[in-house]
Amino acid sequence: MVNTGLVRKIDELGRIVIPKEIRRNLAIKDGEEMEIYIDENSIILKKFQRLLTFKELVCDYVNIFNRLLPISLLITDRESVILANKNEYKDIEHTKISATLCKIYDERKEGIGLNLNISENIVIKGYYYIKPIIINTDLIGSIICVSDKEIDKQEKLAVNLIDALLKIRLETD
């Protein structure tokens, strides 16, 4: 442990100010989260770092499956399309999802269908398989496989594996 020689008082609300030079040296920005540890009679502060954002995690899994099974996937959160893994659907990333899709989310059921109304003015022609991503009873979003032919067992399996991997990872974070 490095002795800085700095001493600070704790205010009436239990707060202490971390000196600017320490924050600058450790690259701690305003509003950044800190982890607090206790080691015998010492309090240890450490910069908190989330492993990956939801989108980064999904991208990693989708990229792995793209190498094994080249299928068209759309990933949504509760409000918009956050990832399209094929160029033909890239233009709908960040598009707000439709009321139809919200209803499917409310039912919390997976489903197969034809011609998905993904947003208020965009309909994806062809077959789809949708799997809601539910973590600890919270609906996070969905994985949607789209195809010009009926969805087969391999495509369903890929979607369900991505869903299972996300659940394992997100339930432990």
Note whether 28 and 106 are same-domain residues. Answer: no
pLDDT band at 159 (very low <50, low <70, confident <90, very high): very high
Q: Is the pLDDT of residue 131 over 90?
A: yes
Residue 58 belongs to domain spanning: 54-172
pLDDT attached to residue 172: 65
- CA gap 76, 125 in Å, rounded: 18
Q: What's the pTM value of the predicted model, to 2 decimals? A: 0.67
What is the three-class DSSP state of 82? strand
Q: pLDDT tens, 26-39?
A: 878 887 788 898 98
Number of domains in the chain: 2
pLDDT tens-digit readout, 46-64? 877 655 577 778 888 888 8
1 and 62: one domain? no
End-to-end CA distance of the chain: 29
Evaluate if residue 12 carries a pLDDT over 90: yes
Residues 142 and 83 in one domain: yes
